[in-house]
């Protein structure tokens, strides 16, 4: 009898779910919006449960046909115990999500940090297949990262490591959401781009981004449109983001000597082939030539599905399937 895998990408505004068959082919997907404001942690849990049930119903299978469920979610997560210690975008603190989902469905459930899981997906099924040393940077509203070292996902002590987005590039730079100043995230994430645009607007400069930024939110589509129109502030913000990404990647190359650096996330995807050429023009200035010569830098291959495939890889590894 065919057995299936259910994989989830849990975010602050949506949960994306997918069914993979025994051949690791994605055969069905569902997306649900979430309301993660306040302290209603049960709301996210209920959304996940409803989504899993909808996947089963739509695809006409039973939970007994499922090997396991796995997910990626933002935050610091104890992978072994399945406890979300803290999440910046979800009302979860020391939240035993593994127990809650396993009590509901009676199949194994695994969860890890979303970007760690996404990089893992790219390593197992995407742009980093066959490599043993991988650095991944995912540029979205914030800046997530993941490391594959010696063919294994590296998460550091208590699964708190691989926060490459918070390497400090300028201690007198802009304030980051983590509380530090001058982090890579503060320069090169979408929030960093928004903050730069706001600073220029406050100085009286004209830019289409002024209208595009609504309640502190800037859609990637609007950013791309402004850039393609030659909006000076948008072009400067992107160039600045790429400049600091090149510095950060240079540091990571010198530190880890990876075989490949993978660039992913919503901003990278939305901007198409804008970031990579700019980064490649500068990264050699910030990395040792003898190390840089053996490093490939490229965009992620799985797009929005990287976390889903990473969750699938987690199941494979945890259950030794």
- What's 114's domain CATH number? 3.30.420.40
Residues 283 and 146 in one domain: yes
Residues 156 and 99 in one domain: no
pLDDT at 40 over 70: no
Alpha-helical regions (H) of the chain: 41-59, 97-105, 114-125, 184-188, 190-202, 209-212, 220-228, 232-256, 266-270, 275-282, 289-292, 306-319
Q: Are 21 and 95 in the same domain?
A: yes
**Distances, alpha carbon 45 to alpha carbons 13, 36, 111, in Å:** 13, 10, 13
Whether residue 264 sits in one domain with residue 147: yes
In a domain, 14, yes or no: yes
Q: Same structural domain for residues 266 and 249?
A: yes
Does residue 68 register a pLDDT over 60?
Answer: yes
Confidence of residue 320 (pLDDT cuts 50, 70, 90): confident
257 and 139 fall within a common domain: yes
Q: Model confidence over 234-287: pLDDT tens digits?
A: 999 999 999 999 999 999 999 999 999 999 999 999 999 999 999 999 999 999
| 123 domain-assigned | no
pLDDT at 39: 54
- Given pLDDT bands bounded at 50, 70 and 90, which one contains residue 93? confident
Residues 153 and 272 reside in one and the same domain = yes
Q: How many domains does the chain have?
A: 2
Statement to judge: residues 92 and 192 lie in one domain: no
Asked whether 17 and 30 are in contact (CB, 8 A), the reply is yes
| Least confident piece of the model among 33-37, 103-107, 254-258 | 33-37
- Structure confidence at residue 42 as a pLDDT band (50, 70, 90): low
CB atoms within 10 A of CB 108: 17
User: Is residue 146 domain-shared with residue 209, that is, in the same domain?
Assistant: yes
Question: What residues make up the domain containing 52?
Answer: 4-118+305-319
Instruction: Determine the pLDDT at residue 274.
Output: 96
Number of H helices, E strands in the chain: 12, 13
Residue 141, exposed/middle/buried by CB under 10 A (0-12, 13-18, 19+)?
A: buried
């Amino acid at each position: 009898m065919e057995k299936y895998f259910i994989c989830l990408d849990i975010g602050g505004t949506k949960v994306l779910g997918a069914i993979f068959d025994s051949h690791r082919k994605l055969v069905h997907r569902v997306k649900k919006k979430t309301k993660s404001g306040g302290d209603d942690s049960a709301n996210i849990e209920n959304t996940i449960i409803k989504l899993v049930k909808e996947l089963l119903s739509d695809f006409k299978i039973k939970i007994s046909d499922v090997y396991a469920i796995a997910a990626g979610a933002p935050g610091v997560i104890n992978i072994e115990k399945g406890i979300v210690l803290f999440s910046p975008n979800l009302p979860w603190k020391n939240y035993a999500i593994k127990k809650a989902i396993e009590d509901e469905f009676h199949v194994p459930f695994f969860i890890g940090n979303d970007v760690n899981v996404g990089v893992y997906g790219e390593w197992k099924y995407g742009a980093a297949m066959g490599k043993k040393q991988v650095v991944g940077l995912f540029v979205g509203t914030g800046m997530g990262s993941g490391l594959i070292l010696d063919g294994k996902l590296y998460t550091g002590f208590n699964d708190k490591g691989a926060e490459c987005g918070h390497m400090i590039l300028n201690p007198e730079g802009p304030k980051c959401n983590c509380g530090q100043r001058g982090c890579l995230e503060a320069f090169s994430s979408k929030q960093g781009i928004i903050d730069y645009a706001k600073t220029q607007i406050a100085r009286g400069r004209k830019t289409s981004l002024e209208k595009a930024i609504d309640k502190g939110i800037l859609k990637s589509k609007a950013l791309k449109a402004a850039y393609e129109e030659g909006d000076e502030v948008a072009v400067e913000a992107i160039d600045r983001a790429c400049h600091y990404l090149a510095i950060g990647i240079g540091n990571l190359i010198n530190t880890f000597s990876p075989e490949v650096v993978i660039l992913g996330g919503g901003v990278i995807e939305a901007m198409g082939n804008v970031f990579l050429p700019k980064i490649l023009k500068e990264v050699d200035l910030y990395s040792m030539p003898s190390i840089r010569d053996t490093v490939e830098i490229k965009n992620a291959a799985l797009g929005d599905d990287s976390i889903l495939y990473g969750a699938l890889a987690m199941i494979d590894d945890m259950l030794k399937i």
